[in-house]
Amino acid sequence: MRVAARLGSIDALIGLLFIALALVFLVPALTYGFGTMQRIGPGFFPGVVAILLAIVGIGNLVIALRQPGTPPQAIRWRALLPVIAIPAFGLTIAPLGLVAASLITVMIARRAERGPIRIEEPILAIGLALTCYAIFVVGLALPIRLLPAF
């Protein structure tokens, strides 16, 4: 099998993605001081994690070049909805309050599953809002509004 075909396998693409992400985090980490082993600096942890991620990426790339892999399939965009729900919560909590942000987060995340809206979605949203309230407002005393300010 040709090298170009092997570079198109899932293993090779994941390896290249890991290497690219490692570079994205390593370059800014190099601007911070690494410090010493007795007193590590702010760039030490992100730098080490980026280097480890690059090593894993190179390992994936080497495996992909040595043996034939599976070609990539179509992206399942619905599977990304739970990931999209997390920043949606962060963006909506300040203007809409905890209750509405929880409801929006659950509704976006549950769209990953096909089918109609079911009764457990609002119940799950209320449970999420109560849990966040207990942790952040009661437990940590953070000033988070429950409802939007009109």
Q: Which pLDDT tens digit goes with each residue over 91-118?
A: 998 889 888 888 888 888 888 877 777 7
Distances (CA, A) of 66 to 14, 20, 35, 57, 99: 15, 21, 38, 14, 52
Task: Say what the pTM is.
Answer: 0.55
Say what the pLDDT of residue 20 is.
94
Say what the pLDDT of residue 77 is.
80
Q: Encoding tokens for residue 3?
A: 């090298």
CA distance 53 to 21: 8
Q: Encoding tokens for residue 87?
A: 């920043």
Q: Which pLDDT tens digit goes with each residue over 58-99?
A: 998 888 888 776 666 677 788 888 899 999 999 998 889 888
